[in-house]
């Protein structure tokens, strides 16, 4: 078990020493010059009953995001083909809501089977699952299920009240039980303290099995949400969180997820040095122009995009 005190001691290591240690751990477990790219497609957007303070899709916020649904499996497959063409090795399907809508769930299952035939890894995020849903996803060959814990146990209630943190952890344990890899993490910059960030990462490190992928998101401050005026996270604290995740969970792949488009090239480079080795591609998904921006950065950093699935334990 990783104690809070131990994790905090690592986090508060002098910055350059911390990054150096994290990079050493990274080199010992991963290829430090390779970046894995994932693409996300939402097949159900808006209309969510949850009250997540950061989310534009919540009906409880003032964003009024219209509900949109994609049920055409062929259209999803075409998006996956485009993602692969632009360098992604993993295609993620997302759907808003507390738990899967039966029709959307069936569409996702059909799509997963076909996407795997393209040679892509598959990922799904649809909220809480029950036993039968987890078993069905496994039968269709789902590789990853994404389900974030968002923040520390102590700060969680200030962000979400309609779903408990324990319910989130139950879903994580359920998909792991069925042999599906877990992608989980949190959002930084929601007004939480560094102690909250440390506790969130310690929580993940203390799961029965380390998550295969750790998603570190930077809050996107959407007008109309309760966090539209949240204070900015210090960039170096963001890097410290990347480094702590790398050190606490050496085999896990650390991914810079939402909010990357607002990060400078220099900040992203520090994140890669501190142990991040995966990204979501582009701030507007499935567009060649944003892929070119990513490729330009990778080229300047002498990083290559993985064209095969990374080794993740």
Assess if residue 134 is contained within a domain: yes
pLDDT digits (tens, 9 = 90+) for 30-65: 999 999 999 999 998 777 778 888 888 777 777 777
Assess if residue 302 is contained within a domain: no
DSSP string, 228-256: TTPPPPPHHHHHHHHHHHHHHSTTSEEEE
Catalytic: 48?
Answer: yes
Assess if residue 108 is contained within a domain: yes
Q: C-alpha 240: how far from its chain's center?
A: 17
Helix (H) or strand (E) holding 34: strand 34-45
Catalytic: 123?
Answer: yes
Of 189, 216, 193, 192, whose CA–CA distance to 204 is shortest? 216
**The pairing of beta strand 276-280 with beta strand 253-256:** parallel
Domain that holds residue 104: 4-296
Assess if residue 237 is contained within a domain: yes
**CATH number of the domain enclosing 258:** 3.20.20.70
Tally of domains in the chain: 1
* Cβ–Cβ under 8 Å, residues 211 and 251: no
Assess if residue 184 is contained within a domain: yes
The pLDDT score that the predictor gives to residue 288 is: 46
Contacts for 146 with CB less than 8 Å, ≥ 6 apart: 92, 94, 123, 124, 125, 182, 183, 184, 215
Mean pLDDT rounded to a whole number for the chain: 90
pLDDT digits (tens, 9 = 90+) for 250-305: 999 999 988 888 899 999 999 999 999 999 874 444 444 456 788 889 999 999 98
Assess if residue 311 is contained within a domain: no
Options 109, 123, 241, 271, the catalytic residue: 123
Catalytic: 55?
Answer: yes
Options 90, 168, 183, 260, the catalytic residue: 183
Assess if residue 69 is contained within a domain: yes
Options 90, 92, 197, 240, the catalytic residue: 92
The pLDDT score that the predictor gives to residue 285 is: 45
CA distance 204 to 222: 27
The pLDDT score that the predictor gives to residue 294 is: 82
Assess if residue 91 is contained within a domain: yes
* Rounded to 5°, angle at Cα 228 from 227 and 230: 60
The pLDDT score that the predictor gives to residue 313 is: 37
Residue 14 φ then ψ, to 5°: -45, 135
């Amino acid at each position: 078990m990783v104690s809070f005190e131990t994790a905090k001691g690592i986090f508060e290591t002098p910055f350059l020493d911390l990054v150096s240690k994290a990079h050493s751990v990274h080199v010992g477990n991963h290829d430090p010059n390779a970046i894995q790219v994932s693409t996300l497609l939402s097949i159900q957007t808006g209309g969510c009953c949850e009250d997540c303070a950061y989310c534009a899709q919540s009906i409880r916020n003032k964003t009024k995001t219209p509900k949109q649904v994609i049920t055409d499996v062929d259209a999803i497959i075409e998006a996956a083909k485009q993602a692969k063409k632009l360098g992604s090795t993993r295609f993620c399907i997302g759907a808003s809501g507390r738990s899967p809508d039966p029709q959307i769930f069936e569409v996702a299952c059909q799509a997963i089977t076909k996407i795997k035939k393209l040679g892509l890894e598959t990922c799904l995020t649809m909220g809480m699952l029950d036993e039968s849903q987890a078993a069905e996803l496994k039968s269709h060959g789902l590789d990853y299920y994404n389900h974030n814990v968002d923040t520390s146990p102590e700060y969680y209630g200030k962000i979400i009240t309609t779903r408990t943190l324990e319910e989130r952890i139950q879903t994580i344990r359920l998909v792991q039980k069925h042999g599906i890899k877990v992608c989980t993490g949190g959002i930084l910059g929601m007004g939480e303290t560094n102690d909250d960030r440390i506790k969130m990462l310690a929580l993940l490190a203390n799961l029965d099995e380390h998550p295969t992928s750790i998603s570190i998101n930077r809050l996107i401050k959407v007008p109309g949400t309760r966090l539209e005026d949240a204070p900015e996270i210090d960039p170096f604290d963001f890097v410290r969180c990347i480094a702590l995740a790398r050190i606490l969970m050496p085999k896990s792949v650390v991914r810079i997820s939402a909010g990357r488009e607002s990060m400078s090239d220099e900040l992203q480079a520090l994140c890669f040095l501190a142990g991040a080795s995966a990204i979501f591609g582009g701030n507007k998904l499935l567009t060649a122009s944003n892929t070119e921006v990513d490729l330009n950065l990778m080229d300047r950093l002498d990083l290559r995009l993985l064209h095969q699935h990374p080794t993740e334990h």
